[in-house]
A and B are shown apart, each in its own frame.
Chain A
């Protein structure tokens, strides 16, 4: 047997950085498709719901104005949509254009490929979050109550939806397949996840049904970080986020390792 040099962690780090860098370059290259739409959409939300509707709604809780209340939800909405959309379109594009083979035929282990794509998607989620936060500053003043909770929530949410987008891309056979989930699953769950309202305002059984929506926990944890209020206990919110991150991570890794939808 020939001597095989142990695979250096540095090599994995370079490989991971290469994928993440390539993803960021893609995000910046097509910024009008990746960064701009969320900026425009969220500006409209702030104008219509924050200013026009919000001025009639008044304070929601503890003197928090409606426009302040919806800022965390809108940021999370942007993070969810962009993390998911980035990885599903990029990974499916690589599958469709067959350049995924560059990576599958390389020495990179599956976890490096997955981590590289997830990093890229999370970075897009964070970039868009920063843009939406900056836009929100034009309409209101947000005080960061719990920076670490805010950061951890946004990172976990971006990770969960990056992984979900990856699973979608693995199974997708045509571009329609990566458009269906955001339109028919993500958008309704996000709108019903307490972005624009508190679930405590809902009656039975809608309030109980809302607790089955994982996005509710993410939005509320983020709202707690930014405003200090939440409809759900923070511990449960983090348990839900960690749980989804672990399960989706394991599923993604299994799919990649077995080559399902990728290797014949």
Chain B
């Protein structure tokens, strides 16, 4: 028995009235229960794709199905399955969070008594209950973002789409939002996340697609993607200043300051030979950490490759780049 994908996008195209071709035939599949990252630089087509999936943007061609339900042929039925947390604030700032949530449930045909229960439940879970009856314009930026998550949860969707939900939110609130979204996903909701915090995608998501210039340039599992990164850079904090740096084969050692070194090496290379060489030179390493977000490095590399291809340096057709999601 084959599983119906949570999201099945086939050759989706969008050409805006001003002639901008935002999506050039995007194909994508997300499996039920997945936590899926959709990444891409600004203007890549992420928001257009999300707009089409939430029926806010009319597609120019192609098809998208949510749990097998076509968003074109059966819009109402498809929308019943989707919850959207948009990038921009889109609630009435003069209304109270409780009313915003209850009304949202009403738009989905949920009876008022049940809607009130759900509003209380989700506003409490997202630590907004003490602000539930204050005008939403008085909420902080992080609270407004959490309110949009609570609102999206009112219909308890099978597919939750979060378009940069943690943008401009401090790390503490961001982590609490991650916890909430992870719990929602663990409970069975399929989650699609776009974010500019690549650490967020790396930590949360199991599968990933990278979109650039209206095309999917990578679509694979997070684990598989990260294995493509063959060079790593470590930051070494020293116990005492190092007078001279030893020569270590296949390791590039760079002095950042007198107490810090950076070591760049291939993933195949073991760390022991480097530590032995450092030890022989009388250098004691007190602690070590990865320099950069690994996904960030890959992301930049993939997007740069895409740009080069766009300049006519031999872009691979989409079919070759994209692999099916590996849920």
Contacts and interface: CB of A to CB of B under 8 A. Distances in A.
Interface string B46-69: 000001001111100000000111
A7 B90 contact: no
Contacts of B75: 107
B55 to A, nearest CB: 6
22 contacts: A1-B68, A2-B68, A10-B109, A11-B109, A14-B106, A14-B111, A15-B107, A18-B106, A22-B103, A94-B92, A98-B89, A101-B54, A102-B103, A102-B107, A105-B54, A107-B76, A107-B80, A107-B107, A264-B17, A264-B56, A264-B57, A264-B58
Given A98-B89, A98-B90, A263-B57, A15 B67 contact: no
A101 B77 contact: no
A14 B69 CA distance: 23
A29 interface: yes
Interface in A1-49: 1-2, 4, 7-8, 10-12, 14-15, 17-19, 21-22, 25, 29
Contacts of B111: 14
Contacts of B108: 11, 15, 106-107
B79 A105 contact: yes
Contacts of B208: none
Interface residues of A, number: 33
B94 interface: yes
Contact of A2 (B4, B91, B93): B4
B110 to A, nearest CB: 7
Contacts of B2: none
A15 B58 CA distance: 23
A104 interface: yes
B103 A4 contact: no
Contact of A97 (B58, B93, B112): B93
Contacts of B89: 98
B306 interface: no
A108 interface: yes
Interface of B: 4, 16-17, 51, 54-58, 67-69, 74-77, 79-80, 82, 84, 86, 88-95, 99, 103-104, 106-112, 151
B113 to A, nearest CB: 11
The 4 closest A-B pairs by CB, nearest first: A11-B109, A18-B106, A106-B107, A98-B90
Contacts of B151: 102
Given A4-B69, A10-B109, A15-B108, A104 B56 contact: yes
A263 B109 contact: no
Contact of B109 (A12, A21, A97, A104): A12
A58 interface: no
A2 B77 CA distance: 11
Nearest to A112: B107
A233 interface: no
Contacts of B82: 105
Contacts of A105: 54-56, 79, 82, 84
